[in-house]
Structure 1
Amino acid sequence: MFKLDLSLDAAPISAAFLDLQQKHLPFVLALTATRLAQRVKKGTIAVMKQRLDRPTPTTLNSLFVKYAVKNGQPAKVYFKDSWTSGIPADTYLQQAVGGGQRPHKRFEKALIARGIMRGSEYAIPTAPFMNQYGNVSRGTMTKILSGLGAAETRTGYQANASGSARSKRKGNALWFFSGDVGGSRGVWERKSMGMGDAIRPAFVFSGSAPSYRTIFPFFKIAENIVKANYSAEFAAAFAQATATARP
């Protein structure tokens, strides 16, 4: 989260500014901070499109602005930190913003909890299972976890494959399995071919944590946008306050 909490000490002082009645100053600072926050959002999205690898519409729409309030909250630019389902943007963008090693994802934690994958391993998806954004869809991961008996369960709902007729029709337990094939550990898919069945890897287990360099320094980008536009936005807010101020 990037905050714009402007104070009178940061304001460019002029004779006209000193003549402005004290009661209008909070409005000028709040309006300046809000407009700068809107600039930060617009500029950040432009950088995301350039630097992130095929960002999804959900990722690009996950940045929000909270307006500043006179004598109250500062303006804020932040990534949504919760969704009705899935992983929020402020979680999965951490490596792009700060770099470093990737922590285990929910999918990997489920495999580790079931004893399918070691705690020191990471699941790396293969190309056939990734969508146009380079991700594996939630639906595909749910099918795999169900087939492996590692899906999350909750009261009144069982996601794991079972011996029921409905579960057998889905075939998740038949098509997905884990193990060592040809010296490679991972999750595999059985495919029915014309000449018989074949298998292909869905996820390959790696003993090394994926590492990321900082490709999207959000806070530095925001600071640069504020520095470049502060004077102009303050002048515009000051002019608006002066024009609308009551005598």
Structure 2
Amino acid sequence: MLDLKLDIDSVPLAREISDIQRKQIPFALVLAQTRLARDRIKPGIAEVVGKRLDRPTPTTMRSLFYQSATKSRGAKVWFKDSWTTGIPADTYLQQAVQGGARPHKRFEKSLIAHGLMKAGQYAVPNADLLNQYGNVSRGVMTRILSGLGAAESKRGHKANATDSKRSKRKGNAERYFVGTIGDDTGVWERKARKQVAPVFLYTEGAPQYRVILPFFKIGENIAKAHGQAELANALREAILTAK
């Protein structure tokens, strides 16, 4: 989360106004910080997200928010840190913002919890599974976990494949399995004519990411470039509209 604060003493106009006009400074600070967050930093970071992330989803592009300033706190810009369902952007964008090792995803945690993958391993998807945004859809992952008997059960709903006729018609229990073929261990899919294809292959050690979205640096640079101009405009507007 980027917390914005501006320095009124650095604005030349602030040194020339009267004591009566100085009463407008708190209002000018609130106005300038809010405009800087809303009109400069939020769209500026969103532009970088669209350019640097690989095929960001519409949800990711809509995940950036700002909070207006008040007299008691500065304006803020941040990625949404909670969803009704699913993983919030503030969580899944951490590797892009900070770099470093990727933590286990929910899919991998389910595999580990059911003894289908070692704790130090990570599951890398086959390129054929990726959608237009470069991700494996939640539906595909649920189908795989169901076939492996590792799907989560919520609110009385059992997502794992069973011996029921309906479940057998889906065929997920026969379709997916974990094993080693040749030198590769992972999740495999049974195809027609007794062929198999890798779905997820296991790797040892966490994937490492470089910083591709320096969120805080981008925000700070935009604030440096436009902060004083926004503050000067807000102060001038506050003085002209003072009653």
Q: Taking structure 2 as the reference length, what is the TM-score of the superposition?
A: 0.94
| Distance (whole Å) between structure 2 residues aligned to residue 13 and residue 235 of structure 1 | 7
2:9/2:15 contact within 8 Å kept: no
Give the aligned residue type for 2:179: G
1:179 alignment partner, SS class: strand
2:218 alignment partner, SS class: helix
> Which moves more between the two structures, 231-240 or 109-118?
231-240
| Distance (whole Å) between structure 1 residues aligned to residue 51 and residue 122 of structure 2 | 28
Give the aligned residue type for 1:151: A
2:8/2:231 contact within 8 Å kept: no
| Distance (whole Å) between structure 1 residues aligned to residue 208 and residue 63 of structure 2 | 24
Give the aligned residue type for 1:52: L
2:49 equivalent in structure 1: 48
1:110/1:150 contact within 8 Å kept: yes
> Which moves more between the two structures, 149-158 or 123-132?
149-158
1:220 equivalent in structure 2: 217
Q: Does 1:202 align with 2:199?
A: yes
| Distance (whole Å) between structure 2 residues aligned to residue 129 and residue 186 of structure 1 | 14
Alignment map for 1:87-126 (pairs within 5 Å): 87-126=87-126
| Distance (whole Å) between structure 2 residues aligned to residue 152 and residue 14 of structure 1 | 60
TM-fit CA distance, 1:108: 0.4
Q: Please identify runs of 4+ aligned residues in structure 1 that moved more than 2 A.
A: 5-23
2:100/2:209 contact within 8 Å kept: yes
1:12/1:231 contact within 8 Å kept: no
TM-fit CA distance, 1:6: 3.3
2:64/2:80 contact within 8 Å kept: yes
TM-fit CA distance, 1:44: 0.4
Please give the per-residue CA displacement for 1:39-98, whole angstroms capped at 9, x wherever unaligned. Answer: 1111001111111111111111100011111x2232110100111221111111111111
Unmatched 5+ residue regions in structure 1?
none
2:13/2:232 contact within 8 Å kept: no
Unmatched 5+ residue regions in structure 2?
none
TM-fit CA distance, 1:5: 2.9
Alignment map for 1:146-165 (pairs within 5 Å): 146-165=146-165
TM-fit CA distance, 1:18: 4.3
| Distance (whole Å) between structure 1 residues aligned to residue 91 and residue 147 of structure 2 | 27
TM-fit CA distance, 1:133: 1.1
Give the aligned residue type for 1:67: S
2:8/2:14 contact within 8 Å kept: no
- For the structure 1 residues 136 and 12, does the alpha-carbon distance in structure 2 shift closer, same or farther, using more than 3 Å as the test? farther
1:176/1:188 contact within 8 Å kept: yes
| Distance (whole Å) between structure 2 residues aligned to residue 33 and residue 83 of structure 1 | 27
1:6/1:30 contact within 8 Å kept: no
1:104 alignment partner, SS class: coil
2:147 alignment partner, SS class: helix
The higher relative CO (CA closer than 8 Å, separation ≥ 6) is in 2
RMSD across aligned C-alpha pairs, in angstroms?
1.5
1:242 equivalent in structure 2: 239
Identity of aligned residues (%): 57
Give the aligned residue type for 2:142: T
Q: Taking structure 1 as the reference length, what is the TM-score of the superposition?
A: 0.93
Alignment map for 1:130-169 (pairs within 5 Å): 130-169=130-169
| Distance (whole Å) between structure 1 residues aligned to residue 190 and residue 230 of structure 2 | 60
| Distance (whole Å) between structure 1 residues aligned to residue 135 and residue 239 of structure 2 | 52
- For the structure 1 residues 31 and 208, does the alpha-carbon distance in structure 2 shift closer, same or farther, using more than 3 Å as the test? same
| Distance (whole Å) between structure 1 residues aligned to residue 101 and residue 148 of structure 2 | 27
